[in-house]
Structure formats: C-alpha cells, structure tokens
Structure 1
Amino acid sequence: MRFGDAQVSIEPKVPLERLFYLLARGREWGNWFEQSVHLDTIANLYPAIAEGFATWAERVFRTGVVRGYRTVRAAEPAIRGRWLVSEQIRVRQGLPLPAELQYDEYTSDIAENQLVRSAARRLVTFVGLPDSVRARILRIDLHLGDVTLLTRGEPLPSVHFDRRNYRYRPLVALAELILTNGSLDHRVASTAASGFLLDLPRVFEQFVETEVTRAANPFGGEVVPQFDSALDEDGHVHIRPDLVWRREGRVQAVFDAKYKAEKPAGYPNADIYQMLAYCIRHELTTGHLIYAAGNSVPPRYTIAQAGIEIYCHSIALDQTPEEISRQVDEIVATSMHTSSM
C-alpha cells in the first residue's frame, strides 16, 4: 500500500515465486506462470505482477487480438440490423431518423479485451515499476486502444472460454486478480493512496483444494469442497469443512486448510476443536489439518474419549513445485490409509 511517498508492504511467508505458483494452481491456470516468467530475481510484488501480466499479454497478442460478436443498441442515420419500431415511436416521436437499431457487431470491444485493457491501466498506476515494464504495459494499452475501459466499482464481466479464446484464459485470470485485489485507489487533497492485497488464507485454501483433488483421483470417489451439513439433529449448527472425500455416498476423509502467518492466541486449539466436530458429525476416526509450514505443531492429537486422531500436516511452500506436489501426495495417501483402518 502506498500513501504519497510512504509505502507499507506486508510480506507473505511464502516466497514470491511460490506465491504465484499457488495462485496458478489454486485458480487452475495451469503451469503457465512457472514456464513463462522468472520471478526469483524480482523482490517486489508490484513488479512481479506487472512482469507476469506483460509477458503473457505479449505472448497472447502475437497471434492477434481476439474478436467476437457484441449486441449493440444505437441510434444511427442508416438502417442496419433490426429496426426497433416501438422504440423509434417512443423516443423519436414519429421522426424516421436517426433510426433506433439493434444489431450484432464483430468487434475487439468484448469482455476479454475490456478486462485486459482495464488491468493494464490499473497496473501503470502502481508505484515502483521498472520503466521497461511500464513501457511494455503502455504498449498493451495502446494495442487495445479501441476497447472500452471498465468502470471502477462495477461488477466485472464474465467470460466464457472456448477454442476461439482459450489462449486468453491465464491473461484474463491475471487481469481479474489485478482488478479485484487492487481495489484501494484513493486521493485526499494532494495525497494519493493505492494498494494491492491478496487474501493468503483463501489462496492457500484454493491451492489445497486443487492439489488434494488431483492427488485423490487415483483412489476413486470424489473430493467435495465446502461440504455443508449440520452438527445437531435439528440442523441449527451448520458445519462446512474445506474438503471431504466421499466414496459410495459416504464421507471417508475430511480436510481443512490452515494458513497462519503467526501463532494466534490459542493456536492450534481452535483448529482441533473444529476438526473434532467434523469427525464426530461424519463418524470418522481420523481428521486432517493441512498447514502452510512455518508454525510447528505436533504431528498428531489423540482424543481418546472420542476414539479420534487428528493429523496435522505441513506443506513446505519454499520447495520446488514437484516437491510441493509430492508432499500433497503423501498427505492424501496417509488420509486414505487411515480412513480404511
């Protein structure tokens, strides 16, 4: 966050290059970021975001700007498309021209390009960008000069991906990230403030969901995120673990992702209480908490009175993507083994 000449930075415990790996995996962008952008030499979040955006945009636009049909309603001096006669009478009071029309136009001014250009405009306001990166982003903005900029505060348009625009998918995802999280942009008198903030617990949760689903695939069944049920018989106390693994209509394993930058008060007691409730509700003898490594926790808690064991797993996010995937594979294998005991 930047206030005039002062800047406040919140450093994640995840290395920057791994932070974008978590984003790419959790939001199912694939491994494009790891292949396309080298972040180990970039020390600041803003330049890293801008570098990734510029690199992928340049790759996408090598084959041209995608175009599509957009429905247009306009008043024009010549008739084309559908003439809205009732609208003509209401608005023009019987005058034949300009004609109130509706037609489909084949144009570059579609949602995909609107998101990209608006994100480029947002990026150039970030402080601390290298001149070379800023120049690349300005070229992207110029390349999309006929595209409408999105209005700040309005909901972002949705994009349906198919073979025509699939190459845009990572770029649009990064544009949405920039427009959604770069939400602070305020000016009071001569002091300007701007910021970009990522919800790391949510990023970690999405990553765990994607990776656990991948690792559980060979075991059959299905992994269900945010599985809603009730703890009490009357259905008043709702519980919703991050992930459950179901097979033959029954919950076989339950997981909860916990990203904690430091040890909060009572850590990890509240996590244990929560997992204990999940296990009791689904009649499980084991539950699995998945932490981002950084705070040490005992590997296992035994609640003898309930006959339940709660396993605490840590993922070292400073490792290579291959090693991180291997850690998740081990966690899932352990959970499948304990669920069958």
Structure 2
Amino acid sequence: MVEVTEGAPWATLRVSIEQAAEIAALKIGSVSPLPNGEWRITGIRKVGVIRIGDTELRIRPKTPIDRLFYLLSRGNQWGEWFDEDALLSTTDTLHAVMADVFGRWGERVLRGGVLQGYEERHSAEPFIRGRWLVTEQIGRRFGMPLPAELQYDEYTTDIAANQLVRSAARRLLSFGSVPSHARARLHRIDRRLANVNLLTRGDDLPTIRFDRRNERYRPLIALARLVLGNESLEYLEGASSASGYLLNVAAVFEDFVAAEVARHAAASGGEVVSQHVSRLDLMGHVTIKPDLVWRRGGRIRAVFDAKYKIIKNDAFPNADVYQMLAYCIRHNVPEGHLIYAEGEPIPQEIAVQSAGVDGAVVRIYGHAVDLSCPPLEIEARMKAITDRALASRG
C-alpha cells in the first residue's frame, strides 16, 4: 500500500513502469523516474483510492474530509441532508468515509420501507396478461400460442432508484479497507434489496424524477450516483487495469462556487450560467469559457472563475489574470472575480488600463476562500464575494 497527500510538493512511489504509466494516464499527477528505480509524483490533482495490480494507492485530500462532503452537499444542491459532520474524522480515508456515510443513509432511508413503483416488463409467459405482442409472437414462436410474448406494468421493488442504491452498496463492498461497521450496514442494504437487479457496468446511470412519493430517497440517490461514477467521481474498472475511484476536488470546488453564487445572486434577478461558451476573436478561432457569468437584461454583467490551486508556481497569478482580462474585454465587463480555494494571501485587486471596456479601467479581484473554516463562515465568505461582484452591476 502506498499513501500520498494531495497538495504535497512531491512524493516517491515504488511501482513498476506499467503502474507508473497507469497513474500518469489517469491524470492523478505528473510522474517522472528517479535514478534508483523509484518514481516521483508531483502536482497531485485527485484524491481517493485505486488498485493497480497488487499495489493500492491512497491519496489523502489536503481539505478536511468533512469539508469535502460539505462542498459536495452544497455544490450538488442536495439540501440540508448531511447532519453528521462530527462523525467524519479528518484521519479517515475518503473511501472509508464514503462507505460509512452511504451505509448510514441507506439504513435510514430504507427504514421507512423499500420504494415500489410500476415498471414496464417484456416477457414470455404461459398465460395472458397485459398486452399481447402478436408480431413478436409470430416472429419468435412461429405461430405457437404459448408461451405468450407480453408487455405489462408490474408493481415491484425492482425499479431504477433501488437499482442505483443496491449497485452502489455492492460497489462500496468491493473496496478494501472499509470499516467493519460500515461493511455490516452495506450488507444489510444489499440483503434488503435482494430482489432488485444490479445495474450493468458501462451503461448510463438512470435518471430519477423526484416527487412527493420518492423524495426521501433523494440524498441516498445522490450518494449512489457519486459512488457509481457520476460527475466528479471516476470509476476506473473495465477500461484499464486499475480499479477504485478518484474524486476530482477541483471539480467539486467549481460546482460549489457555482451553486453558492447562484444561490446568493437569486435576490438580484437574472441568471447565473456555468461554463458559458463564446468566441474571443472576430473570426471565431479562439473559444473562451468562464466558469460562471451573471446575465441580466440580455447581457453579461459579472464574470467569475473558480481556481482550486494545489501548488503555486511562477505563473501564479499572472496566467489567471490574463485569462480573466480576456473574459472581461470580450464581454465588456469592468470587473472580473477570481475565487481561490486558499487561505494564503493573494493579490486582492489588479487594475488594468484598457480601451476595450468603454475606455474604462478593468479591475481583476482575487478572493480567497479558506475551506478549513466552519461551513457558516465559508457561506458568509461566498455571500460577501457575490454581493461585491453584483453591487451596482444591476
């Protein structure tokens, strides 16, 4: 077992050439050989656990695990579903905590009963019910009356929501180093859903539409989708020799910033658009895509970019400022806002003289959000940033 930490300047790995190539291919970080046959990894960009051959690589996050779950909750707009903040130890591994949280929520949700619903079935049966598929009967049975090719609705527990939950429980059980109490909960969930089919790996995850009847499943489905490979979570088995999962914390932070800006900007009207695509040049050769723009009255009035920095380099903050300046000039916005997941000092304001924005000065603001702070302080910080960006922009 090899353990490294996200954000560390570098770490040494004793792995084979093939394993080093796999780590590089998964874009976990930059891998380079050392004279003694070991490998150096720098710029670690993901956290989690993977197994490559007989080696397990664990990547601990620099952000406390309880804060990661807080960012996930707010960024995915799961609501106030997570009230067990104190149960997450900062020394636990991410996959162990994921198994524990999923197990707790699974038992809590299923305590209210296993959800049932109508599912369309196609089967051959010895008696007629539902709709008789005559064309299929002739094509498959060559005129034989039985078994009958049928289509009917069945009221069952084998529905998409339960398939997601059971498949996620099974996935978590396949990981090593899951605490015994969490493993026991996952086994109980699996047994409770014994009549539910597992999802096929590689297929798209089903979409669940929530209403009054299944609303209690929402937090569990959100966790299940995370475990099974939705959005920032990458399940690696099948396409390569690696198995496990990795969490892209930069993507989690970007989702969190987008959700918080949208939440706090709601009172000002307009809309917040993520990943707004446009062309920088007149010929349309260069595409730009700021993380967030606030649009009101048919035009963009504020631009934001989230920056989850792991290691600062000689290009910081110049490259970020150049990028934001291009956004501001293109969209004729006098201010741009860079939001960093850092507690360290950064330039708070950079003023650039430009005739491209109605002859005015373009101001680029840098904002630091310290993710080690309590959630209420983080939310207050995001509200202050949003209010500052939208002030007098209406």
Q: What TM-score do the two structures reach when normalised by structure 2? A: 0.81
Greater shift after overlay, 249-258 or 218-227? 218-227
Superposed displacement of residue 154, structure 1: 1.5
Pick one of 225, 242, 259 that aligns with 2:274: 225
Aligned to 1:311: 365
Per-residue CA deviation, residues 165-200 of structure 1 (Å, 9 max, x unaligned), is 111111111111111035123799xxx853210111
- Give, as a single letter, the amino acid of the residue that structure 2 aligns with 1:320: P
Aligned to 1:142: 191
Superposed displacement of residue 10, structure 1: 2.0
Aligned to 2:303: 254
Pick one of 52, 56, 75 that aligns with 1:26: 75
**CA 1:34 to 1:269, structure 2 compared with 1: closer, same or farther past 3 Å?**
farther
Pick one of 200, 204, 208 that aligns with 2:257: 208
- Contact kept in structure 1, 2:130 and 2:151, CA below 8 Å: yes
Aligned to 1:328: 382
Per-residue CA deviation, residues 11-66 of structure 1 (Å, 9 max, x unaligned), is 22211000010011111111212357721365211111011101111111111011
- Contact kept in structure 1, 2:343 and 2:369, CA below 8 Å: no
Superposed displacement of residue 338, structure 1: 6.4
Per-residue CA deviation, residues 115-139 of structure 1 (Å, 9 max, x unaligned), is 1000100101111111111011001
**CA 1:160 to 1:289, structure 2 compared with 1: closer, same or farther past 3 Å?**
same
**CA 1:185 to 1:225, structure 2 compared with 1: closer, same or farther past 3 Å?**
closer
Pick one of 125, 131, 135 that aligns with 2:180: 131
- Contact kept in structure 2, 1:261 and 1:294, CA below 8 Å: no
Q: C-alpha separation between the residues in 2 aligned to 1:270 and 1:51?
A: 40
Unaligned runs of 5+ in 2: 1-49, 356-360
Q: What TM-score do the two structures reach when normalised by structure 1? A: 0.93
Matched, 1:75 2:124: yes
Aligned pairs for 1:276-315 within 5 A: 276-294=325-343, 296-305=345-354, 307-315=361-369
Q: C-alpha separation between the residues in 2 aligned to 1:11 and 1:294?
A: 19
Q: C-alpha separation between the residues in 2 aligned to 1:52 and 1:91?
A: 48
Q: C-alpha separation between the residues in 1 aligned to 2:371 and 2:150?
A: 56
Q: C-alpha separation between the residues in 2 aligned to 1:295 and 1:264?
A: 14
- Give, as a single letter, the amino acid of the residue that structure 1 aligns with 2:371: L
Q: C-alpha separation between the residues in 2 aligned to 1:184 and 1:230?
A: 34
Matched, 1:59 2:108: yes
Aligned to 2:218: 169
Aligned to 1:117: 166
Per-residue CA deviation, residues 283-338 of structure 1 (Å, 9 max, x unaligned), is 11110000101554211112124521100001111111111010001111211236
Q: C-alpha separation between the residues in 2 aligned to 1:9 and 1:300?
A: 38
- Contact kept in structure 1, 2:65 and 2:90, CA below 8 Å: no
- Give, as a single letter, the amino acid of the residue that structure 2 aligns with 1:290: I
Pick one of 159, 178, 187 that aligns with 2:208: 159
Q: C-alpha separation between the residues in 2 aligned to 1:198 and 1:207?
A: 14
- Give, as a single letter, the amino acid of the residue that structure 1 aligns with 2:225: E
Pick one of 177, 181, 185 that aligns with 2:237: 185
- Contact kept in structure 1, 2:60 and 2:94, CA below 8 Å: no
Pick one of 2, 5, 12 that aligns with 2:61: 12
When the two structures are aligned, how many residues end up with a matched partner?
337
Pick one of 100, 103, 119 that aligns with 2:149: 100
- Contact kept in structure 2, 1:243 and 1:256, CA below 8 Å: yes
**CA 1:253 to 1:62, structure 2 compared with 1: closer, same or farther past 3 Å?**
same
- Give, as a single letter, the amino acid of the residue that structure 2 aligns with 1:183: Y
SS at match of 2:300: strand
Q: C-alpha separation between the residues in 2 aligned to 1:39 and 1:299?
A: 34
Which has more helix, going by share of residues? 1
SS at match of 2:247: coil
Greater shift after overlay, 218-227 or 130-139? 218-227
Superposed displacement of residue 4, structure 1: 6.0
**CA 1:294 to 1:4, structure 2 compared with 1: closer, same or farther past 3 Å?**
farther
SS at match of 2:87: coil
Per-residue CA deviation, residues 218-264 of structure 1 (Å, 9 max, x unaligned), is 22222222222222233332222111112222211110111111114
Q: C-alpha separation between the residues in 2 aligned to 1:55 and 1:130?
A: 13
SS at match of 2:367: strand
**CA 1:20 to 1:243, structure 2 compared with 1: closer, same or farther past 3 Å?**
same
Q: C-alpha separation between the residues in 2 aligned to 1:255 and 1:160?
A: 31
SS at match of 2:161: helix
